[in-house]
Amino acid sequence: MIRIRPKTRALMTFIATRRVADIVAGYGFVLPALLLIGAFVFLPAVYGFLVSFTRWDMMSPTRTFVGLSNYAELLESSEFWRSLAVTMYYLVGTIPITMALGLALAVALNRQFRGVTFFRLVFYSPVVTSTVAMAVVWLWMYDPINGILNYFLLQVGLPPQKWLGSSATAMPSLIAMDIWKYVGYDMVLYLAGLQSIPADLYEAVEVDGGGRWARFRSITWPLLAPTTFFILVISIINRFRVFATVHTMTGGGPAGATEVIVYFLYKQAFQYFKVGYAFAIAYVLFVMIFGMTLAQWRIGKSVHYQ
């Protein structure tokens, strides 16, 4: 049997006491944040989930339990599937182009030359600009009568466009504005990824006689895979949640051409006062985003370990 000296036992007791004190202090520091998250995130989420099984118009104090009727009605709704298709159109139209342009800008600005900080700031400034303010400016640019875009078209002899007033051009117009706003965000993330790549790898390719394309294909693109995966996941989540741009510029029109799924949810809750149905839409949207994120994570993990 091992005998522990009194001094050693006292030291162990002191260390254990300090460890418990540190743990208590740590939880004490994070407790206010946990309480706020619980009060403003988790409790509303649980409350919304319960309301999704009821029929409620926010006006009457009573709610009628309807079980899965809201979810069944949602899955049978042609408007829901149309809004989902519009959202997917928005995703496909914005994410690949934004990521490609962000990578190109990051590669171009990942070097030292006069004014590089200025150019980085210029491309990133739309990201921190108010979405509503930006949408108002682009709304003026797209104005079919006084807009600057139609003015330039007339100057070169081309016919003016309706832009947001036509079902054919409304969504491409929103996509163009989205790309302008978020390309700087992707650029900054790609810049961070590029600056973490050791310069020795590029020197090794140059010694072997490889040019810029060889360096990009063999070094840059493979080592940017984690960054690309992160940007893709964040971009999909953010594009699924787009609302302010659509609400400010088109109101889901014309003829539902820009009615993304979050705007469809907004209409059900605050125009038709179908609150339980709107919460059902929110949870279906949550399941879709969670499923897509999980699938991307597993695919990215499998590719990373190959």
- pLDDT tens, residue by residue, 123-164: 999 999 999 999 999 999 999 988 999 999 999 998 999 999
- Is-contact 275 57, C-beta < 8 A? yes
Residue 281 reports pLDDT greater than 70: yes
The predicted pLDDT at position 132 comes to: 92
Alpha helix ranges (H) inside 38-160: 43-51, 69-75, 78-109, 116-124, 131-141, 148-155
Confidence of residue 303 (pLDDT cuts 50, 70, 90): low
CA distances to 99, 154, 205, 238 from 180, rounded to whole Å, are 12, 23, 34, 15
Residue 305 reports pLDDT greater than 50: no
Residue 102 reports pLDDT greater than 50: yes
Higher pLDDT, 81 or 24: 81
Collect all residues with Cβ–Cβ distance below 8 Å to 88 and sequence separation of at least 6.
none
Residue 87 reports pLDDT greater than 70: yes
Collect all residues with Cβ–Cβ distance below 8 Å to 274 and sequence separation of at least 6.
55, 57, 268
Q: How far is residue 237's CA from residue 17's CA, in Å, rounded to a whole number? A: 44
Residue 304 reports pLDDT greater than 70: no
pTM for this model (two decimals): 0.85
Higher pLDDT, 255 or 18: 255
Segment among 105-119, 199-213, 252-266, 285-299 with least mean pLDDT:
199-213
Structure tokens at 248: 């400010």
